[in-house]
Chain A
Amino acid sequence: MTWTRRHLITVEELSLREIEQIHSTSAAFKKILGRNVKKVPALRGKTIVNLFLEPSTRTRLAFDMAAKRLSADVIAFDASSSSTQKGETLRDTAENIQALNADMIVIRHAAAGSPLYLSKILDIPVINAGDGSHEHPTQGLLDTFTMKEHLGSLKGRKVAILGDILFSRVARSNIHALTKMGAAVTLVGPSTLVPRGFTALGAEVSHDLKSALADADVVMLLRIQHERQGHRHFPSLGEYTSMFGLNKTRASWLNPHAIIMHPGPINRGVEIDSELADGERSVILEQVTNGIAVRMAVLYLCAGYQPENVIASTE
């Protein structure tokens, strides 16, 4: 199968085969990251603009690193010192970046749908690095890649996602990836942050922490996103921690082989105790390393896409 996608906007629109192709390409790039010369010339001469209009540490660094490992030139767009502060619209900013001869845009934006919007008005590939509470496709892809490294096939595996699901783009991208790959997803947390409506995405919803943890091969913790919550969804952080925070006692309910994941940034002592975040079941830093390989794969595939009509007419 040939890669035919120019943009990566959501995991929801990807087929299982496309997810598998991203994973196998990521595995090839991960090997390169272990060499002496950690760089290949695949995207030499291309310019990638990181348009991050929302704070980010891991994702921006990983995209930056990934582009450099592919020998592309990377330009980081600093929102605080740019003309967006003078009222320039997203459309104008993006069209100007394209006019400056960029070959690709990686965008993070607080508004859901902004990457899709850009993909419709620009001629160059657009990669979604997180849009509001909608999707964070590369995170979902790197999380499932990390799970596969530990568990092999995810078919029939059980994944518990614990925490602020309502506002989490990471949860949405993971739910789509995991259900396509045949895993069973259980969402756990207070009912205000884990509404029943999520069953429509093919996930189970539970408010019983003990049974969800006892069953899981993977427990993925999510940060409480204060910045997206307009009003309080639980009385206090302390109360959240006492009800749903992962501590030693609760971790003892887990399967002995289960792994603990977190997309970062971690609020130590809120959703997870430090001891567990740094413990041997934690794969949190592996997720960060894999994030480079997966983003290299996404940049490489979208830069090298073959338009659907060309392939259809010649095969």
Chain B
Amino acid sequence: MAPPKTIGPREVHAAIERLAAAIKARHEHTHDLLVLGIANGGIPLARRLCARAGIRRVGDLDISFHRDDIGRHPIPKEFTPTLLPGDVNGATVLLVDDVLFSGRTVKAALDELFDHGRPAKVELAVLVDRGSRKLPIVADFSGTTLSAREGEEVVVSLGDDPSQDQIVIRARGPRAERAAARR
């Protein structure tokens, strides 16, 4: 089995910087933008991006009850409730997640979002696009692109201490393996 591969803080920060610059380049008036981090992985990234790009309206999107795989994954003990910093109706929404893989999470996030209203436009920003999509979903902005194998998992850590930020690509544990087999 291949040893885990780690991408360190310098490259992670450069990727976040690229994302923020690309978002700013496309959106002249970022104050119109509603940025929503997909719980849980997208939340710290959304906060970082907004701090970098000077965007004020940032919130969280909980997709727990929109997943289509109940009974296949353990139910989390705590929920991060959806928190919207503004009206979704007519807004331009930027969804943010740490890793884009099958696309199912983004699909669930769109379902949750549309329960709150009808946005004018929805875009997607991810830190890592690891390929292997199962749904017709493409990110508008991606920090970095990897080609991880099916049996590997990509774990992003963006903590309180930015010097510890990293992306790890490693073989899946037996439990994750089993969950993947049922997907």
Using a CB–CB distance below 8 Å, which chain A residues touch chain B? 1-3, 21, 24-25, 27-29, 31-32, 35-37, 39-44, 70, 300-301, 303-306, 310-311, 313-315
Contact = CB atoms under 8 A, between A and B. Distances in A.
Interface residues of B, number: 24
Nearest to A306: B74
Contacts of B74: 2-3, 306, 311
Interface of B: 62, 64-68, 70-71, 73-75, 77-79, 81-82, 111, 115-117, 173-175, 178
A31 B70 CA distance: 20
Given A35-B116, A40-B65, A24 B78 contact: yes
A304 B67 CA distance: 11
A304 B66 contact: no
Nearest to A311: B74
Contact of B65 (A24, A32, A315): A32
Nearest to B115: A37
Contact of A40 (B66, B75, B81): B66
Nearest to B64: A28
B75 A41 contact: no
B115 A303 contact: no
Given A314-B178, A315-B175, A42 B67 contact: yes
Contacts of A36: 115-117
Contacts of B75: 2-3, 25, 300-301, 304, 306
Contact of B79 (A28, A44, A305, A311): A28
Contacts of A31: 81-82
B81 A28 contact: yes
Contacts of B68: 41, 44
- Most A CB atoms within 10 A — which of B65, B66, B73, B77? B65
B65 A35 contact: no
Nearest to B82: A31
Contacts of B175: 314-315
Contacts of B115: 35-37, 39-40
B70 A42 contact: yes
A28 B62 contact: yes
A36 B89 CA distance: 12
20 contacts: A2-B75, A3-B74, A21-B77, A24-B79, A25-B79, A27-B79, A28-B62, A31-B81, A39-B115, A41-B68, A41-B111, A42-B64, A42-B65, A44-B68, A70-B65, A300-B75, A304-B70, A304-B73, A305-B71, A313-B174
A303 B66 contact: no
A70 B64 CA distance: 12
Nearest to A42: B65
Contacts of A24: 77-79
A43 B70 contact: yes
A37 B71 contact: no
A305 B70 CA distance: 9
B71 A304 contact: yes
Contacts of B73: 304
B65 A1 contact: no
A125 to B, nearest CB: 10
B60 to A, nearest CB: 12
- Most B CB atoms within 10 A — which of A29, A70, A304? A304
Contacts of B174: 313-314
Contacts of A70: 65
Given A24-B79, A44-B68, A304-B70, 8 more contacts: A28-B65, A31-B81, A35-B116, A40-B115, A41-B68, A306-B74, A311-B74, A314-B175
Contacts of B111: 41
